[in-house]
Structure 1
Amino acid sequence: MSGSLRYAIWSCRAMFQLRKLVLRGAGVMDATETFEPGGNILAGESDTGKSYLLHCIDYVFGADELRKRIPEAEVYSDIFVELENSAGEFLTLKRNLAGGKIAVYRSKFESMSATQPEVVTSKRGTGKGIKDISAVLFPFAGIPEAVLRKNNRGATQRLSMRMFLPVLLVDEIAVIDERSPVLGKSGFSETAHKRTFSFMLSGKDDEGIVTSEERVLVTARSTAQLGVITELLAPLEERAAKRQFAAPLASGEIHEAINSISDHLTLITDERTNLYLEREASTAEQNRAEYQVTALKELLSRYHLLDGRYASDLERLDFVAEGAHYFKELQETRCPLCDQVMDGAHEHSAEASAESVHQSARAEAGKILGHRADLAETIEAVTSRMQEQAMQVAAAKANISRIEDRLTQVIIPSFTEVAARLDSLVSHRIELERANSERDQIRNLSELKRQIETALDTKEEKETWEQLPAKALRDLCSEIETILGEWSWKGPGRVDFDQKEYDIVVDGQSRQSHGKGVRAVLYAAFAIGLLRYCRSKGKPHPGMVIIDSPLTSYKKGKSSSTGDGPVDPGIEASFWESMAGLDDGIQVIIVENKEPPQDIAEKVHYQWFAGDAAKPGERAGLIPR
């Protein structure tokens, strides 16, 4: 995205503000707190849940866990945060107190049931299509995606909502801390927080910068690479020195010889393949013919048996014909002609005439002779065919023998010889190519070694980075000066920014050198001033700030500084009064133990938590009792 287009987007800001925070659980009354544009004051006794509210918002905005827990809230299971941007759009975020992802409803809290939630992660999503809370809140606040530098080597990371926390959610410890209000105490690097601050001042991110590595890492990596290259070069150079070719052939000559021998080998291979096929066909023909011979022999054997049967039948009929006149003398028996009982009605009975028997025998003999003649022709035909098949067997055997002789005496020896010559030439070519390849490797590795050695001998120029934009920084300081004037600061109220400590200097004295009370007031001035600056200049900012105890010094722990007395009464009174004059385009929420003056309470959105001493009609704390 071009710089001009980004500026156009940032100039059309849609800062958001907090409208409602709700704790909800099964069987208990909701714990609800509402907020309005401009100044909001939430005051009350200690242990009434004021600071817990700030931690709930931090948790819904993506914290790993709820950093502060109170016993009264253990009955609740979910936190809801309702936001509204300057375009009048609403967003309600829901997160379970046990952890997990965040449900996003693009509606008011009361209308959630009519909308389908979108589930996002608290941290940056890594899977395809997975969004995080920053990807939801940034468009809602008119803040585009940005890439910021996270170290001096130029490595970058994506801007996230968590980077705004030091100037967005200021708790009771951070507000009095001596640490810079820009750097905060979150897990992000100082460089990332500094670049976030610069991004808020100028609207420019760090997209497009080139990453550079630290000199120590570069030197270590280059030295390791140099060692590897040296180890790779040693055997290559040793082989190159020993390598000798007896009567070496040029690469082109080797290629031509290999092609010629390959062609010859192809011819031999083709002939061998054809001979194998021919031998296979002859073997099949031999097997087929031998099978035919065997089958025909079996058939002839059966035909000869049938011929013998015909001869036996003829002899029997001759006997019958010659002895026909003896039939009448025979006892009752079965007829030798038809095997029927020879009684008076039988045609061959004894009463039959000898001439009739003789004629019948001759007729039967005639038929048998006809069959025997046909059988003789068949036997002759089968015998002839069997002889033909025997000749085919012999021819197939002869052809197989010829093929075997050709293969063993000519083809296989020629193939072996030519293949050996081809292998020798191929090996020679491989060795030649290896020599050429290793020669190229030696040349490339030697050049790379020279470049690394040159780089190691070259001194690295120190990387320099752009300073904070001077004019924008001056405009911010002027905004803070205006706020200090509104708060009746005792002194000229000249504000400068220390780019070494990343903190403000007021009237020549750094914020850290003041006591807790003044540090808290100056932190509040810085956070509110930055919000007002971004609003007036159209620069990226969520649009709200919550400050816990800017007027009440936190008592726990000790400070190394002196002068930890209370805030000046004039500053405190002016501070409260300034809350009533805030522009509705921004939102400042002050969480305090102290009560504001009555007239101020009536001009701002004010809520008082009375604690255990709450009277009828008064609210005891964030959690209903």
Structure 2
Amino acid sequence: MNRLTLVHLTFLGMGKPPAAVEFSPGLTVIYGASDRGKSYVEEAVDYMLGASELKSIPEDEGYTRILLGLRVSDGRTLTLSRAVGGDTIEVFNHDLRSAPSEPADATLAYKHHPKSQKNISRYLLNVLGIDGRRILQNSRGDVVPLNFRDLARLVVVNDTRMADQRSPVLGTRIPQNETKEKSVFKLLLSGQDEPERPTAPSKLEKQFGKGKIAVIDHLIDENREKLTIEANQSQLREQLGRVQSSLGEVTAAAGGIAATRSSLLLRRRELESGDADNQQRVGEVQQLLSRFMLLREQYESDLARLQMVGEAGTLLGYFQTGTCVFCGAERQHQHPEHHLAETTQLAAAVSAETRKTTDLHSDLIIMIEDLEDQAATLDASRALHAEQLAQNSEELRSLDQRMEPLNADTTELLAARSRLEHELAVHAQIEQLEDLKASLSSAPPAPPTARPDNIPAADIADFESMIHETLEAWQVPGDNRVTYDPTSAEISVDGRPRKSRGRGMRSIIHAAFAVSLARRNTARGLIHPGFVVLDTPVLTYRRPEDPVEAQPELMTHDVVENFYRDLLDNPSGQVIVIENPTPPKSISSRAAVYPFSVDGSDRQGFFPPRDRD
């Protein structure tokens, strides 16, 4: 179940500076002088939650639109936008602080309508996850869907209702609404909807009752003919349980085999991929070897030709000193460099080319031998892959053979389960027809008396204990023994009804009622919007022994101190307190505090001061 947190309240107007207040997700305190717009904040929040009107004050002149930011406990952020005096509320699915420039995500009426979703009440109930919950409308027992306004009256409490003599449960002061308001409180305390009340058959149903029974008998006979297994429902359920158990075992076994088969297929893909890589590499090596063998033959041919040139030169005497074979000059008549160009250079060239070609030939032989080694390694790897693939195929065949009987068993068990479920469905249909026949044959029971005060005693005791703990934490004088009368909706403390107490005690008890309800329902996962707005909860409280305190706006210090401390130390969700007196200084670092028109405050009120000519 979701909860809501108020994020901000912002007023906008053409040519007007925004008037806004940012709410803490825990405690927010707005205090200060009268007529500064403190209570107007509470009234504006209520207006944005579907109240019909917002009474104007002089300070709001020129402001035409109100924005209320909301945060949902599931993480969503919403902004409600309503014109001052408008009948529709626009919803934006984000945090909006200025005049919208884009169309709204939803446009809703402010009035609740049980048959339409397009109103703020149904929208907020849907956000909270409680739309459609039922409450009593009147003592006749008519049941109606819950309205968000029924919740708002319990969590947004103005200063008049705070000290009113009527019970906090009865918020509208309209006697005709008492049944509904008590039923709402019953729903919050117990979490239980009002049941739909049985109705007597109509005249048409009575007129055709006998004919319906005959038709139902015929349908029962037809369904009984569909039964093929001689067993009752209990036996069929036992058989179905055994089939389900067997099916689970077979499925588990098949799942194990399937997992093993998947791993084998993955291994097979790896082997095939590796074999493909090897095959590609073998092709590359064979291609290189073929080219290198041709190059080897070329080198060997070149060496043979160089050897032939050397042998021919030796035979012809080109490489010997003495009489020049070219010109016939004797050695002593030859120029010192006579043979350099003709003989020595030729011999040197042949020798150098021979060495170069021999070195290249040797390097090529090494490369050829390395490639031949790689080819042999690749062939061995391919042979290993082929062996592993063959083994993998054999394992897959073995798994497939093991899977065949499991598949057959699964098919048979599924068919058996289907037959049993069909038989049980037919039995259930026959039971429904027989129940319908019995309802038509017997007189309808008298509708039970509608009791909005029929709250479980355990829930009442739990709520009484929660209020007692709250009053004790605030150190309100007395034993603070709390009782709640569901018939009158009256709360009594120490044996005295709240309506008989003074204004200050009525306010304290009402505040404890609202805080305890939020605290209890939030802790127990029961229905509650998630926030509480209290206007003047402790302003008029005084010590019992000081009935004529000199400054009545200064309430008993210890109660006020403990009131704020408890709201901070034991949070019930979000609480917004509106008061006149200055709260304790100790809360300023832990709560959002807004002083209006007090010494040292930055704000004169909720609205910025108007320009004066």
User: TM-score, normalising length from structure 2?
Assistant: 0.55
Letter in 2 for 1:544: F
Does residue 1:132 correspond to 2:119, yes or no? yes
**What is the number of equivalent residue pairs in this alignment?**
354
Residue 8 of structure 2 corresponds to which residue in structure 1?
A: 20
Q: 1:605 to 1:461 in 2, by over 3 A?
A: closer
Deviation at 1:582, TM superposition (A): 3.7
Residue 525 of structure 1 corresponds to which residue in structure 2?
A: 512
Residue 342 of structure 1 corresponds to which residue in structure 2?
A: none
Residue 165 of structure 1 corresponds to which residue in structure 2?
A: 152
Does residue 1:44 correspond to 2:29, yes or no? no
Letter in 1 for 2:5: Q
Q: 1:104 to 1:49 in 2, by over 3 A?
A: same
Q: 1:189 to 1:117 in 2, by over 3 A?
A: same
Residue 175 of structure 1 corresponds to which residue in structure 2?
A: 162
Map 1:392-411 to 2 at 5 A.
none
Residue 425 of structure 1 corresponds to which residue in structure 2?
A: none
1:329-372 Cα distance to aligned partner (Å, 9 max, x none): xxxxxxxxxxxxxxxxxxxxxxxxxxxxxxxxxxxxxxxxxxxx
Which whole-Å CA distance do the structure 2 matches of 1:563 and 1:192 have between them?
38
Which whole-Å CA distance do the structure 1 matches of 2:71 and 2:494 have between them?
38
Q: Percent identity?
A: 33
Quick one: which of 204, 212, 223 aligns to 2:192? 204
Deviation at 1:170, TM superposition (A): 0.6
Quick one: which of 13, 23, 26 aligns to 1:35? 23
Deviation at 1:589, TM superposition (A): 0.6
Quick one: which of 593, 598, 607 aligns to 1:623? 607
Which whole-Å CA distance do the structure 2 matches of 1:73 and 1:550 have between them?
25
Deviation at 1:38, TM superposition (A): 1.6
1:445-477 Cα distance to aligned partner (Å, 9 max, x none): xxxxxxxxxxxxxxx999353611111111111
Which whole-Å CA distance do the structure 1 matches of 2:449 and 2:129 have between them?
33
Does residue 1:97 correspond to 2:84, yes or no? yes
The SS at the match of 1:30 is strand
Quick one: which of 543, 558, 563 aligns to 1:575? 563
- Checking the alignment, whether the CA contact within 8 Å between 2:117 and 2:123 is kept in structure 1 is no
Residue 349 of structure 1 corresponds to which residue in structure 2?
A: none
1:186-209 Cα distance to aligned partner (Å, 9 max, x none): 667111111110111111111412
Which whole-Å CA distance do the structure 2 matches of 1:489 and 1:511 have between them?
14
Which whole-Å CA distance do the structure 2 matches of 1:508 and 1:192 have between them?
27
Residue 195 of structure 1 corresponds to which residue in structure 2?
A: 183
Letter in 1 for 2:499: Q
Residue 469 of structure 2 corresponds to which residue in structure 1?
A: 482
Residue 60 of structure 1 corresponds to which residue in structure 2?
A: 48
Residue 484 of structure 2 corresponds to which residue in structure 1?
A: 497
Which whole-Å CA distance do the structure 2 matches of 1:143 and 1:508 have between them?
36
Q: 1:211 to 1:158 in 2, by over 3 A?
A: farther
Which whole-Å CA distance do the structure 2 matches of 1:69 and 1:36 have between them?
26
Which whole-Å CA distance do the structure 1 matches of 2:156 and 2:492 have between them?
22
Residue 576 of structure 2 corresponds to which residue in structure 1?
A: 589
Q: 1:73 to 1:464 in 2, by over 3 A?
A: closer
Residue 424 of structure 2 corresponds to which residue in structure 1?
A: none
- Checking the alignment, whether the CA contact within 8 Å between 1:44 and 1:594 is kept in structure 2 is yes
RMSD (Å) for aligned C-alpha atoms: 2.6
The SS at the match of 2:79 is strand
Residue 75 of structure 1 corresponds to which residue in structure 2?
A: 62
Map 1:283-362 to 2 at 5 A.
none
The SS at the match of 1:517 is helix
Letter in 1 for 2:608: P
1:52-101 Cα distance to aligned partner (Å, 9 max, x none): 111111111111211x3211102100111011122221111111112211
1:410-440 Cα distance to aligned partner (Å, 9 max, x none): xxxxxxxxxxxxxxxxxxxxxxxxxxxxxxx
- Checking the alignment, whether the CA contact within 8 Å between 1:495 and 1:507 is kept in structure 2 is yes
Q: 1:464 to 1:30 in 2, by over 3 A?
A: closer
The SS at the match of 1:191 is helix
Residue 396 of structure 2 corresponds to which residue in structure 1?
A: none
Map 1:173-572 to 2 at 5 A.
173-185=160-172, 189-210=177-198, 463=449, 465=451, 467-553=454-540, 567-572=555-560
Residue 434 of structure 2 corresponds to which residue in structure 1?
A: none
The SS at the match of 2:458 is helix
- Checking the alignment, whether the CA contact within 8 Å between 1:166 and 1:184 is kept in structure 2 is yes
- Checking the alignment, whether the CA contact within 8 Å between 1:487 and 1:572 is kept in structure 2 is yes
Deviation at 1:601, TM superposition (A): 2.1
The SS at the match of 1:618 is coil
Gaps of 5+ in 2: 201-445
Letter in 1 for 2:607: I
Residue 378 of structure 2 corresponds to which residue in structure 1?
A: none
- Checking the alignment, whether the CA contact within 8 Å between 1:176 and 1:553 is kept in structure 2 is no
Which whole-Å CA distance do the structure 1 matches of 2:79 and 2:173 have between them?
25
Quick one: which of 141, 151, 155 aligns to 2:128? 141
- Checking the alignment, whether the CA contact within 8 Å between 1:106 and 1:115 is kept in structure 2 is no
Of structures 1 and 2, the larger Rg is shown by 1
1:571-619 Cα distance to aligned partner (Å, 9 max, x none): 2221122232243x61111000011111122221111111xx665x611
Q: 1:171 to 1:193 in 2, by over 3 A?
A: same
Deviation at 1:110, TM superposition (A): 4.1
Q: 1:106 to 1:547 in 2, by over 3 A?
A: same
Which whole-Å CA distance do the structure 1 matches of 2:487 and 2:102 have between them?
52
User: TM-score, normalising length from structure 1?
Assistant: 0.54
The SS at the match of 2:17 is coil
1:132-166 Cα distance to aligned partner (Å, 9 max, x none): 11111112223332121111111122211111133
Residue 300 of structure 2 corresponds to which residue in structure 1?
A: none
Which whole-Å CA distance do the structure 1 matches of 2:117 and 2:125 have between them?
15
- Checking the alignment, whether the CA contact within 8 Å between 1:93 and 1:105 is kept in structure 2 is yes
The SS at the match of 2:16 is coil
Which whole-Å CA distance do the structure 2 matches of 1:535 and 1:194 have between them?
20
Letter in 2 for 1:576: Y
- Checking the alignment, whether the CA contact within 8 Å between 1:201 and 1:534 is kept in structure 2 is yes
Letter in 2 for 1:581: D
- Checking the alignment, whether the CA contact within 8 Å between 1:154 and 1:210 is kept in structure 2 is no
Letter in 1 for 2:52: D
Q: 1:470 to 1:72 in 2, by over 3 A?
A: same
Which whole-Å CA distance do the structure 2 matches of 1:204 and 1:527 have between them?
20
Gaps of 5+ in 1: 1-12, 213-459, 555-561
Which whole-Å CA distance do the structure 2 matches of 1:158 and 1:564 have between them?
48
- Checking the alignment, whether the CA contact within 8 Å between 1:154 and 1:211 is kept in structure 2 is no
Which whole-Å CA distance do the structure 2 matches of 1:510 and 1:620 have between them?
40
Which whole-Å CA distance do the structure 2 matches of 1:564 and 1:507 have between them?
23
